[in-house]
Chains A and B, each alone.
Chain A
Amino acid sequence: MIRRASYGEPARIGWLEWLPWAAALAVFFALPEYVPLGARILVYILFALSLDLILGYAGIITLGHTAFFGLGAYVAGILGAKLGVTDPLLQMAAAAAAAALLGVATGAVILRTRGLTLLMLTLAITAILLEIANKATALTGGADGLSGISVTPILGQFRFDMFGKTAYLYCLLVLFAGWWIVRRIIYSPFGASLVGIRENVVRMHAIGSPAYARLIAVYTISATIAGCAGALLTQTNQFVGLNVLSFEFAGELLVMLVLGGVGRIYGAFVGPLVYMIAQDQLAKQFPEYWYFGIGLLLVAVVLFARGGLLGIADRVVSKFRGERR
């Protein structure tokens, strides 16, 4: 399969690409009881999308992406709970800026390495942040979590209601913006050069590409988006726990993305959706064993569906087309 970088194919948005948005609106109107779960899924999709940009496209292997998500979550939370900055858009802007700063600072250090070394460094950075959040109880609430976060209505108009309707639409809008940005980037010459770096960095050097600078740039963009996702979670839950910085959460995110399919944008949509619904249902049916079901699902995908659920879809479609020919 050809894996993007297209100077040949146009970047028009296909009708299938509107489907997630139509589905998201349909859920909002038809299934109000799922709106709070839906909002959480939307946040995770945005987070997974930011991971896909660096992992799927630029080939940066990381287990520490929660550093940016967690930082965004805490910045928004601390502003709302301790510093009296209650405007949600201001909180989000601050979270994005903080995550971007952390992204560019850590990226400049760790992106000189690749593979396992890089993986370890991303883990280490997240572990440091987790420990800071754990110890700085005055600011973060430590292990008890940060509560009492005030968030005023968006633009002074739209209050976060107890049914989560405002939160859902707010998350949907932010996700849409994030998707738009990621999609533009992926189809751009910059995005093409990232794929080049992923596919063959030696060749990229030989054609005069400043690979290191490109990686820092995309890492920072991805960190910014992850920071926004973190702020969204804080604002919809009005609570931040240490788990936003945990290693388990980073692993879970990776599992979601792999489940959906890496390096294809919409894998970041399908993965969290299926994972969260499976988790929700399994937790209802088998409250004690739900992780077992998730494990089975993942083993099945890894064994039988390389390229994730969207990989399966691809193969089914190409088989149909092949038989018709």
Chain B
Amino acid sequence: MSAVLETRKLCKSFGALTVAESIDFRLEAGARHALIGPNGAGKTTLVNMLTGRLAPSSGRILLGGEDITGLRQAARVKRGIGRTFQINTLFRDLTVLDNVALGIAERSGIAARLWRPASSFHAIHDESMALLATLGLADDAASRVFDLPYGKQRLVEIAIALGLKPTVLLLDEPAAGVPSVETGRILEVLDGLPPEIAILIIEHDMDLVFRFARRITVMVQGEVLVEGTPEEIAGDRRVQQVYLGEQHHG
């Protein structure tokens, strides 16, 4: 299998604090890959470097074999890296439809048009509605995001990212803060995502991780501890130690 997204010796430090240490990571085409590890392991840092929110101190990031280390966030989005945020990062006072349409408009290259009314771009509207329908959000299209229950807001996060038609989708704790009765719905949505999208998910909910992922990478203190299939990871003694809190630091 070929890697769509790859990092080579990726490092990030803030002064003396090293939050990512020589990370070599590969995300295969169509992957269902989970990134786990205790708090502060550097998972979100890695995602932020992959999306271009954070510049790495050293190392390289390749997308489809092409070096994107120096590219800005917006340029990476155009090349197919989509993401969701651990904490909802939505347009809270706008409608669900507009939340999704703004992204689709950027992707379609019409977002800088400044004369025709936005509502007259029917293709954007229809694509947004179709996308919302696949996530079961069609009835909420005209609601303000702020008024939705939290679980549905998490789905809007995913909807916005999907609207960008990413080839790589980075999901940062999609089920974070969602009451357990609603996580089922999120899993359904994740299971229904197009198989050709390579997905990297950061998640603390192990049930969700082991149901969803076909490969798992475990990070500890800014380093990749181990990578393998869910069975390998579940049986790995070092991983058990990390999660039981037995590891001696340093």
Additional A-B contacts beyond A184-B114, A188-B115, A192-B105 (4; CB < 8 A): A8-B95, A189-B114, A189-B121, A202-B89
Is B111 a contact of A209 with CB atoms below 8 Å? yes
Which residue of the partner chain, among B53, B95, B111, B163, contacts A190 with CB atoms under 8 Å? B111
A267 at the interface (CB under 8 A from B): no
Cα–Cα, bound, A203→B153 (Å) = 14
A208 at the interface (CB under 8 A from B): yes
**Residues in chain A near residue B125, CB distance under 8 A:** 7-8
**Residues in chain B near residue A208, CB distance under 8 A:** 73-75, 77-78, 103, 106-107, 164
Is A190 a contact of B112 with CB atoms below 8 Å? yes
- Beyond A2-B95, A7-B119, A8-B95, is A207–B114 a contact (Cβ under 8 Å)? no
Is B114 a contact of A191 with CB atoms below 8 Å? yes
Please give the number of chain B residues whose Cβ is less than 8 angstroms from any Cβ of chain A in the complex.
Answer: 45
Which residue of the partner chain, among A1, A2, A207, A214, contacts B103 with CB atoms under 8 Å? A207
Is B85 a contact of A206 with CB atoms below 8 Å? yes
Cα–Cα, bound, A33→B40 (Å) = 72
Across the A-B interface, the 8 shortest Cβ-Cβ residue pairs: A208-B77, A11-B117, A190-B114, A7-B101, A207-B103, A199-B91, A187-B117, A5-B98
Is A188 a contact of B113 with CB atoms below 8 Å? yes
Is A7 a contact of B90 with CB atoms below 8 Å? no
Query: What are 9 A-B contacts with C-beta separation under 8 Å?
Result: A184-B117, A188-B117, A190-B112, A196-B94, A196-B102, A199-B94, A200-B91, A205-B53, A209-B106
Q: How far is the CB of B12 from chain A (nearest CB, A)?
A: 19
Q: How far is the CB of A34 from chain B (nearest CB, A)?
A: 35
B128 at the interface (CB under 8 A from A): yes
A195 at the interface (CB under 8 A from B): yes
Which residue of the partner chain, among B89, B103, B110, B119, contacts A187 with CB atoms under 8 Å? B119
Cα–Cα, bound, A176→B108 (Å) = 32
Interface residues of B in 3-61 (CB under 8 A from A): 51, 53
**Residues in chain A near residue B90, CB distance under 8 A:** 200, 203
A17 at the interface (CB under 8 A from B): no
Which residue of the partner chain, among A8, A189, A196, contacts B112 with CB atoms under 8 Å? A189
Q: Which of B53, B78, B98, B115 has the most CB of A within 10 A?
A: B98
Interface residues of A in 7-25 (CB under 8 A from B): 7-11
Cα–Cα, bound, A207→B128 (Å) = 14
Cα–Cα, bound, A40→B208 (Å) = 65
- Beyond A3-B93, A3-B94, is A206–B102 a contact (Cβ under 8 Å)? no
Closest A residue, CB atoms, query B77: A208
Interface residues of A in 184-233 (CB under 8 A from B): 184-185, 187-193, 195-196, 199-200, 202-210, 214, 217
**Residues in chain A near residue B78, CB distance under 8 A:** 208
Is B124 a contact of A7 with CB atoms below 8 Å? yes
- Beyond A5-B102, A199-B93, is A205–B114 a contact (Cβ under 8 Å)? no
Interface residues of B in 101-139 (CB under 8 A from A): 101-103, 105-107, 110-121, 124-125, 128
**Residues in chain B near residue A207, CB distance under 8 A:** 77, 102-103, 106-107, 160, 163-164
Is A192 a contact of B102 with CB atoms below 8 Å? yes
Q: How far is the CB of A144 from chain B (nearest CB, A)?
A: 42
